[in-house]
Each structure stands twice: as C-alpha cells, then as structure tokens.
Amino acid sequence: MIDYSKMLSDKIVNIKPSGIRKFFDLLNEAKDVVGLTVGQPDFPTPWHISEKAIQSIEKNKTFYTPNSGLVPLREAICAYLDRRFKLKYEPSNEVIVTVGGSEALDVSLRALINPGDEVILPLPAFVCYEPIIELCGGKPVIINTKVENKFRLTAAELKAAITDKTKLLVLPFPNNPTGAILDEKDLAEIAEVLRPTNIAVLSDEIYAELTYGRHHVSIASFEGMRERTIIASGFSKAYAMTGWRLGYIAAPREITEQIYKIHQYGIMCAPTASQFAGIEAMEAGDEDIEYMKSQYNRRRMMLLDGLRTLGFECFEPEGAFYLFPKVTDERMTSEVFCEKLLHEGGVAIVPGTAFGDCGEGFARISYAYSMQHIEQALERMEKFLKNM
C-alpha cells in the first residue's frame, strides 16, 4: 500500500484549496442559475488581435521565442507602459513576458522571498498571493482593509504592519474582489512610508486599464519606488484575452535577472502565437479597451443602482469589474447567504470570505456580463429577498 502522506510535499498538502473553487463546484451542480461569479470579460478577443496569432501560425512561426518574449512584444510593452502610465522600462532587460499575470505573480514572489520573510498582504484580495507566499516559506502579514476606507490600504495600516522582517508589500490594486483603487494621494503616502526602507513592492496592475472616472497611477511612478517595484500585469482583463495566457513583468534589471531564471527553467517562454497577438493588443488595442470599459461602466452603474434599490449597502468601486456589497449581518455568514441565494433564488455570487476572512458579511458580484443578464439576476434577487 502506498502511503501518499509520505509521498507528497507537506508544504503542498497543507495549502488550502481556493475558496472560489469550492463555490464553483456548488454552482456546477445547481440548475437554472443566473451567475454573476466570473472574473473574466464576456467580450470576445478583438478580432484584429486574434488574427495576428492566426497569421503567425499560417506562417509557421510556431517555435520557441526568446525566454523573455519576442523582442517586438517587449518593445511594444515598454512603449505601452510609457504611453499609458508614463513608466519607462528597457525592453532588453527589464521586461519578461509570462504565462498570464498568474505566472508573473508566482515567479516574482519566488524570486524575492526567503523562508521566514514577512510579506505584507492587504485583504480581501485575489486568491493566489497567500498560498504562494506560504509555499516560499514566507509569512503573510495580513492587513484587513476596511469598508469605511473603501477597502483602500492606508499608509497608517502599512506602517503599523512593518517589522524588521518585512521583505515585501503586495499591492493588489485595482482590487479583485472589492473594486477598490488607490489614488495618487494614497500612493504618495504609501511611498513615503516605504522610501526609507528596503521593502520591495509587488504591484499587481492587471486591472490598471479598468478604472472609472480616473486614470490609473502606478506606485512605480513615485520617487524612490521604481527601483523597488515589480509590476505584474497581463492581457486577460483589458483585452478580453484570458485564454491566451499572456502577461508580463516590468522591474529593474537586478530583479528581472533573478526572476528570469525561474521563468527560464520552469516555463521556457509564453505561447508564441499568443505573443504575436499581444504585439497587436499593445500597439493597436487602446480603442478596444475604451469600448469595453464604457460597457463595463454602464453595467457597473446599473448593478450598483439595482443593489442599492434592493437595500444593499455598497460603496461605489472605481476599478476592475466587481461590486462588493454588504449582503448579510451577524445572523448569517456570507457563505450561507450565498448558498441560500443560489439554491432558493437561482442567482450565484461569490462569498466575500473566499478572498480573506475580512470579506465576511460581503459578497463579490461581477458585472462582466450583459445588461440583460444583470437585469435578470436583479429581478431574481428581489424575489428572493421578498421571500426571505
């Protein structure tokens, strides 16, 4: 008899599976459900982008690319970062093209964390940071962001969390699941706290293009920050390219040199056809972003109005494509509320606790869905609440 407990890595066995997955499994079993759960655009990839990948295959450009990615893609990423966010990076040694933003986050964390290092992580946040920090032997130091601060990380909270073991701050804004952003003032105050320290920043800017009413600002654009910041980003959200698995890192050469090794040994290079599509997205995708963003914005306002009319308290988030309303109180957990809404109301949303304990009382509702779909969900929620 094989003893799997001896066969497998303790570190892996002790990692909890994602709370999102658990809810999606429930969802798969349920029938006649209107879901507002998914964290991906409902738009198809703009055709002029897809076409470039198809053409590359037709021309038999089906070989490995350089490990860091096609040179024209790295150049296009640098031109894009400069054009959109006034960030200057050198294509030859400060950019690595990755398999989605997911790989960008994974290899960045692995390149920085030594066992015992403390990593400051504001929650609620996307589910991957905490388990990867733990796999690296790091210690996540959680900051529970607060609804009264619109789920922003404050400089005071950051300052209070820093110890002499702090290695890294993960900065997940615009935020999944809350939709919170950090504006220039927030970032300036955070930069001031970090400037005298040796703490690095992993800034997950995958939703940078999806902000409403204001332009995204990167922490790397503040004095003393570029040299300590790794920007992790990707094509999934802004260009509706989740399935292409394309992302990138931009960071100082001293950091990318180390990240490069993990990427080279583990991945080789991002998919070649996707990289050709990526060049087109970076060079000619600005209008697509504008169009999709304007649609998300209409949906955001409709869903926000709808939820408030139903009596939910919800702050107006300025980024990504999620709302994070308060759905329940001490009488019921978020998870129970979401299960009831699923089984009795036929609407699926994700309990806030899937993104950290401080998500208790809240739920993530995605508006990356058509207006009709959102309307139908709101109608069902109204009925459900009446019967509850």
Question: What is the contact surface with ligand PMP in residues (CB under 6 A)?
Answer: 39, 100-102, 126, 172, 176, 204, 206, 234, 236, 242, 247
Which pair of structure tokens corresponds to residue 175? 């935020």
Shortest Å distance, C-beta 281 to ligand PMP:
13
| CB-based contact 89:61 (threshold 8 Å) | no
Instruction: Please give the biggest Cα pair distance in the chain.
Output: 62
Nearer to ligand PMP among residue 136 and residue 249 (C-beta): 249
Shortest Å distance, C-beta 208 to ligand PMP:
11
Shortest Å distance, C-beta 162 to ligand PMP:
23
Nearer to ligand PMP among residue 206 and residue 365 (C-beta): 206
Rounded CA-CA distance 249/100 in Å is 10
Shortest Å distance, C-beta 101 to ligand PMP:
3
- Smallest CA-to-CA distance from 206 within 67, 39, 53, 369 is with 39
Give the dihedral sign, CA 217/220/221/225. positive
Question: 182: which DSSP letter?
Answer: -
Rounded CA-CA distance 148/199 in Å is 27
Shortest Å distance, C-beta 107 to ligand PMP:
12
Nearer to ligand PMP among residue 126 and residue 312 (C-beta): 126
| CB-based contact 138:113 (threshold 8 Å) | yes
Shortest Å distance, C-beta 45 to ligand PMP:
13
Nearer to ligand PMP among residue 231 and residue 381 (C-beta): 231
Residue nearest to ligand PMP (CB): 100
Nearer to ligand PMP among residue 134 and residue 328 (C-beta): 134
Q: How far is CA 29 from CA 15, 77, 376, in A?
A: 25, 41, 20
Rounded CA-CA distance 358/362 in Å is 9
Nearer to ligand PMP among residue 222 and residue 239 (C-beta): 239
